[in-house]
Amino acid sequence: MAGVLVATGRNLRQNARFRPKHLDIRRKNRTFVPNFQSNCKFVHAMNNNLVNRTLASFISDVFRVLPVITLTGPRQSGKTTLCREQFPNLPYVSLEDADTLAEVQTDPKAFFNRHPKGVIIDEAHHFPNVFSYIQVIVDEDRFHGTDQHHYIVTGSSNFAMMAKITQSMAGRTAVFPLLPLSTSEILSYQPKASTSKMLLYGGFPAVWMADNETLRHQLLSNYYTTYIERDMRALINVKDLQAFQTFIRLCASRVGQEFNASAVSNEVGVAVNTIRSWLSILAASYVVYLLHPYYTNIGKRLTKTPKLYFYDTGMAAFLLGITTEQQMDVHPLRGPLFENMVINDMLKIDLNRGDNMQQLFFYRDKSQREVDVLRILPPNLVEAYEIKSAQTWNADFFANLNYLRPLLKERMLKTTVVYDGLQENPQPENGIINFRHLQW
């Protein structure tokens, strides 16, 4: 994920706080129940607790320097709420609305003339050419030495958005991915949330607002059919929907495993190129991502096959048919889902600070020695992390870290086990931390 970070000052560490708008509001004769198709773009809770989105203050700071902010990420991760709460003076339009989209496509210049100081354009991937018009406007401002226009553009499809940004907006925008809620953001709302609940619910704000298991399941089901399947139909012509459903459920069953497109192709019964195409669209839509192996000359034969993870463990659990915390407690894939959640948090630590250039890998050699995460820091230094879902400490957790250390020698900065237990010792060599306290 490439991007621009222009941010200074202690205010960058201050979290924005959002006041509730889309709530489960029960009055005498009126009930509003959230769903993914209507008023659920929120990051707050029905008891008026406020959920902090760490990224918000960075966006505000960068917006003082650059005329355009581009916010990407999964649908319903909170992009719209963040923008509208942080910049209430900017008018808002959504290109998800068919009439608005037609209006912008028919006469883009008239649309921008109606917003002389700028505008928030939501779901801009429906009309990627919008960036060309914004480029002309902000370049004209620069030529005249003015700062009249400010734009915030959001989108849920990395595919169409990034191609246009690279072409039209280099040096004019900062790109920020907003992923679902991190562990720290969830705990700011529900400090006593259990590990299995966090795995089951994932990070979509609407799911955390659901007050019963039936509604939570309906929200995830609605998200899958409304967005994932619809996006697949829109971006590529999925002729066999049943085969795609088999494919995405196989992906969920392979969380934390090396992704072999040929093996999946044989199980689904479609061509390898079709599997790769489906995977690329799921990645572009922020449903799944690949963690690539660390590959360097250290005298070992290393794997070159990436591992598959979901951006949201709640969606993975839904696809696996896990519906309750009790099922999650004993499910055979609880360990891989826990690993998935921790790696998601590692991504979010950097992305929520405006750093899009993080380098995370895993290590595995041909003798099946594996370390879950290697974080690469300049100049080619390494922090190594093992992830364990256990609550009981075991000295054997250090085995693969101790194996890797002499191979990397002085390049190894830190070795840490991240797990679910209470015993902690956050030292640089063979440290131990609870996943709730993960930071760097």
Higher pLDDT, 45 or 281: 281
* pLDDT, tens only, 390-439: 999 999 999 999 999 999 999 999 999 999 999 999 999 999 999 999 99
What are the helix (H) ranges across 228-269? 230-235, 241-253, 261-268
* pLDDT, tens only, 250-275: 999 999 999 999 999 999 999 999 99
Q: Looking up tokens 């009930």, which residue turns up?
A: 31
Give the percent of the chain with pLDDT over 90.
65
pLDDT > 80? residue 143: yes
Please check whether residue 63 is in contact with residue 8, taking contact to mean a CB–CB distance below 8 angstroms. no
Shortest CA distance to 131 belongs to which of 169, 171, 92? 169
What pLDDT is stored for residue 297 in this prediction? Answer: 66
Cα within 13 Å of Cα(192), Cβ side: 0
Please report, for residues 116, 229, 318, the alpha-carbon distance to residue 236 in angstroms, rounded to integers and kept in the order given.
36, 11, 24
pLDDT > 90? residue 241: no
Cα(103)–Cα(95) distance, integer angstroms: 9
Q: Which has the minimum average pLDDT: 18-22, 48-52, 57-61, 415-419?
A: 18-22
The sign of the torsion formed by the CA atoms of 424, 427, 430, 434 equals positive
Q: Looking up tokens 């795609």, which residue turns up?
A: 244
Higher pLDDT, 179 or 303: 179
Per-domain boundaries in the chain: 10-177, 183-437
pLDDT > 80? residue 153: yes
For 247-400, strand residue ranges (E) read 288-291, 307-310, 360-364, 370-377, 381-387
Angle between helices 241-253 and 272-284 (to 10 degrees): 70
* pLDDT, tens only, 24-33: 323 333 333 3
Q: Give the angle 142-147-151 at the CA atoms, nearest 5°.
A: 100
Give the residue-averaged pLDDT of 351-366: 87
Rg (CA), the chain: 22
**What amino acid occupies position 378?**
P
pLDDT > 80? residue 164: no
pLDDT > 60? residue 204: yes
Here the tokens at position 398 are: 């250090």
**What amino acid occupies position 385?**
Y
Give the residue-averaged pLDDT of 81-103: 94
What percent of the chain is helix, strand and coil (3-state, nearest 5)? 45, 20, 40
Please check whether residue 176 is in contact with residue 74, taking contact to mean a CB–CB distance below 8 angstroms. no
Q: Specify the CATH architecture of the domain 10-177.
A: 3-Layer(aba) Sandwich (3.40)
pLDDT > 50? residue 387: yes
Q: Mention every residue, 6+ apart, whose C-beta is less than 8 A from residue 268.
A: 243, 246, 247, 250, 275
* pLDDT, tens only, 315-352: 999 999 999 999 999 999 999 999 999 999 999 999 98
- Cα of 386 vs its chain's centroid, Å: 21
* Confidence band, pLDDT 50/70/90 cuts, at residue 70: very high
Give the percent of the chain with pLDDT over 70.
85
What pLDDT is stored for residue 301 in this prediction? Answer: 67
Give the residue-averaged pLDDT of 103-121: 95
In the DSSP assignment, the letter for residue 180 is S
What pLDDT is stored for residue 158 in this prediction? Answer: 64
Its pTM stands at: 0.86
Cα(81)–Cα(44) distance, integer angstroms: 10
Count Cβ atoms within 10 A of the Cβ of residue 423 and give its class: 0-12 exposed, 13-18 middle, 19 or more buried. Answer: exposed
C-alpha dihedral over 53, 160, 285, 43, to 10 degrees? 20
* pLDDT, tens only, 31-56: 333 444 433 334 444 334 446 688 98
Here the tokens at position 67 are: 């005329």
